[in-house]
Amino acid sequence: MNWLASVDPLYAHGITAVVILIALIKIVAGFASIMGAVILMIWFERKVISKMQSRIGPQRWGPFGLLQTLADGIKLFFKEDLIPAEADRFVFKLAPYLCLVPALITFSIVPVGGTLHIAGHTVMLQVANPPMGILVMLAMSGISVYGVMLAGWASGSKYPLISSVRASAQMISYEAALGMTIVTIILATGSLSTHDIVTSQAHGVWHWNLIRLGVVPFVVFLIAITAELNRPPFDVVEAETELVGGFNTEYSSLRFALFYLAEFMNTITMSAIMVTLFFGGPAGYIPPIHHFAWVFPILWFLGKTVAFAFSYIWFRAALPRFRYDQLMDLGWKRLIPLSLGWMLIVAGFLVNRWWGISMMGTVILGWFVLTRAYSLGADRTVGSESVLPEVGQRPTPSRLYRQRTTKGEN
Partner 1 sequence: MMLALAYAVPSVIVFVAAAALILTGAIGVISLKNPVHAALSLIMTLFGVAVAFIAQQADFLAAVQIIVYAGAIVVLFLFVIMFLGVDRREGVDVQPLVSQKPLALVGVVITVSAIIFTMSRSSWVTGVPSLSLGGTRLATGSHNVKQLGTSIFTTYLFAFEATAALLIIAVVGAVLLARRERVLEEAS
Work out the number of other CB atoms within 10 angstroms of the CB of residue 410: 4
Residues 117-136 that bind partner 1 (CB under 8 A): 130-132, 135-136
Cβ 383 to partner 1, closest distance in Å? 4
Work out the number of other CB atoms within 10 angstroms of the CB of residue 390: 9
- What's the DSSP call for residue 176? H
Cβ 401 to partner 1, closest distance in Å? 8
Query: Measuring CA to CA, how many Å separate 248 from each of 92, 123, 145, 244, 339?
Result: 10, 40, 14, 10, 32
196 binds partner 1 (CB under 8 A): yes
Q: Which of 150, 225, 270, 272 binds partner 1 (CB under 8 A)?
A: 150
Distance CA 193, CA 201 (A): 13
Residues 244-303 that bind partner 1 (CB under 8 A): none
Q: Which of 193, 36, 186, 185 is nearest to 126 (CA)?
A: 193
405 binds partner 1 (CB under 8 A): yes
Q: Which of 40, 67, 76, 192 binds partner 1 (CB under 8 A)?
A: 192
Q: Which of 293, 301, 253, 315 is nearest to 273 (CA)?
A: 301
Q: Which of 70, 88, 315, 374 binds partner 1 (CB under 8 A)?
A: 88
Q: How many residues sit close enough to partner 1 to count as binding (CB under 8 A)?
A: 40
Work out the number of other CB atoms within 10 angstroms of the CB of residue 248: 27
From 141-149, 221-229, 230-238, 299-307, give the range in contact with partner 1 by CB under 8 A. Answer: 141-149
Greatest C-alpha distance within the chain:
89
Based on CB atoms, which residue is closest to partner 1, 113 or 152? 152
347 binds partner 1 (CB under 8 A): no
What is the DSSP secondary-structure string of 138-150?
HHHHHHHHHHHHH
- What's the DSSP call for residue 121? E
342 binds partner 1 (CB under 8 A): no
Helix (H), strand (E) counts: the chain? 17, 2
16 binds partner 1 (CB under 8 A): no
From 88-96, 233-241, 269-277, 311-319, give the range in contact with partner 1 by CB under 8 A. Answer: 88-96
168 binds partner 1 (CB under 8 A): yes
For 12, the 3-state DSSP assignment is coil
149 binds partner 1 (CB under 8 A): yes
Cβ 94 to partner 1, closest distance in Å? 8
Based on CB atoms, which residue is closest to partner 1, 29 or 369? 369
388 binds partner 1 (CB under 8 A): no
Exposed/middle/buried for residue 52 (C-beta within 10 Å: 0-12, 13-18, 19+): middle
187 binds partner 1 (CB under 8 A): no
Strands 121-124 and 115-118: antiparallel
Work out the number of other CB atoms within 10 angstroms of the CB of residue 342: 21
Based on CB atoms, which residue is closest to partner 1, 133 or 281? 133
Q: Which of 149, 7, 16, 169 is nearest to 88 (CA)?
A: 149
Cβ 42 to partner 1, closest distance in Å? 28
Based on CB atoms, which residue is closest to partner 1, 135 or 244? 135
Based on CB atoms, which residue is closest to partner 1, 3 or 285? 3
Cβ 163 to partner 1, closest distance in Å? 12
Q: Which of 53, 54, 375, 386 binds partner 1 (CB under 8 A)?
A: 386
Please give, one letter per residue, the 3-state secondary structure of 22-72. HHHHHHHHHHHHHHHHHHHHHHHHHHHHHHHCCCCCCCCCCHHHCCHHHHH
23 binds partner 1 (CB under 8 A): no
376 binds partner 1 (CB under 8 A): no
Residues in contact with partner 1 by CB under 8 A are 3, 6-7, 88, 90-91, 130-132, 135-136, 138-139, 141-143, 145-146, 149-150, 153, 161, 165, 168-169, 172, 175, 179, 190-193, 196, 381-386, 405
